[in-house]
Homo-oligomer: A and B are copies of this chain.
Amino acid sequence: MSTGSPTFSVNHIWIFYHYSGKEGDRYKLSKGELKELLTSELTDFLSGHKDPLLIDKIMNDLDSNKDNEVDFNEFVILVAALTVACNDFFEEQLKKERF
């Protein structure tokens, strides 16, 4: 029986196009769009970092083909990395509670 949770990937696609369609190429995130996505959707994550160059660093890491934009395949790398980090934290807490 299904968990009833939303289907695997639709939320990430929806979030990506919500921001990528704001300016320029509607299928890619410009630096401004990426910044808006990160600050709007990941407020807690960003508020814990004081580095003023954080957005530039994330952009640089994700933009593997160096076209100064982030396409969906590059964006998925960020989603996967955040998911793994989030799980590491969750699993650690779970193990602490059990032992």
Contacts and interface: CB of A to CB of B under 8 A. Distances in A.
Copies in the complex: 2
Interface residues of A, number: 34
A8 B84 CA distance: 11
Interface in A66-89: 72-73, 76-77, 79-80, 82-84, 86-87
Interface string A40-69: 111100000000000000000000000000
A82 B8 contact: yes
B86 A13 contact: yes
B83 A12 contact: yes
A57 B93 CA distance: 33
A9 B73 contact: no
